[in-house]
Structure 1
Amino acid sequence: MATKRTTTTPPTTIAPAPVEPPSCQPCGGSGNVAITVRVGRKRRPVGQQDGLCLNCLGEGTDPGPGPDA
């Protein structure tokens, strides 16, 4: 009885593309938001300055729901 020849090829697995986390909505992914600067007794606005985004804490990515959600 002759031996049976089989050729086995290793399975080709395609690695999934890395998924980028979505950018933060309030800051648009920059990590900074514009904060209005107010001066004077009547607190009139005079300009804007950059401030840290409190949603993503300056990271720029959407934090998503917490682990308890």
Structure 2
Amino acid sequence: MTAVAARKTPAPVTADPEPAKCPTCKGTGEVSRTVQVGRKRRAVGKQTGFCLNCLGSGEAPAE
């Protein structure tokens, strides 16, 4: 008589939940700012830069 080992079924693979998106930049990591020039602070255009809330990662910061 030979003993047959029971076959172990693998656990189902679950995906990690996606981290929450940053509310300031909506998950892009960039925000737009108006560029102003002159003494009267005349608006001349827009410039993008990284989000200071999430530091450009696009994920909501931990509380």
Q: Under a length normalisation based on structure 1, what TM-score does the superposition of the two structures give?
A: 0.71
Structure 1 stretches (4+) deviating beyond 4 angstroms?
Answer: none
Unaligned runs of 5+ in 2: none
- Of all paired residues, the percent bearing the same amino acid is 47
Deviation of 1:55 after TM superposition, in Å, equals 0.5
Give the Cα separation in 1 of the matches to 2:8 and 2:40: 75
Structure with max Cα Rg: 1
Question: Considering only aligned residues, what root-mean-square deviation do their CA atoms show, in Å?
Answer: 2.1
Pick from 25, 28, 33 the counterpart of residue 26 of structure 2. Answer: 28
Deviation of 1:26 after TM superposition, in Å, equals 0.9
Residues 1:44 and 2:42 are matched in the alignment? yes
Per-residue CA shift, 1:21-51, capped at 9, x if unaligned?
Answer: 1111111111110011001111121111001
Q: Under a length normalisation based on structure 2, what TM-score does the superposition of the two structures give?
A: 0.77
Unaligned runs of 5+ in 1: 1-6
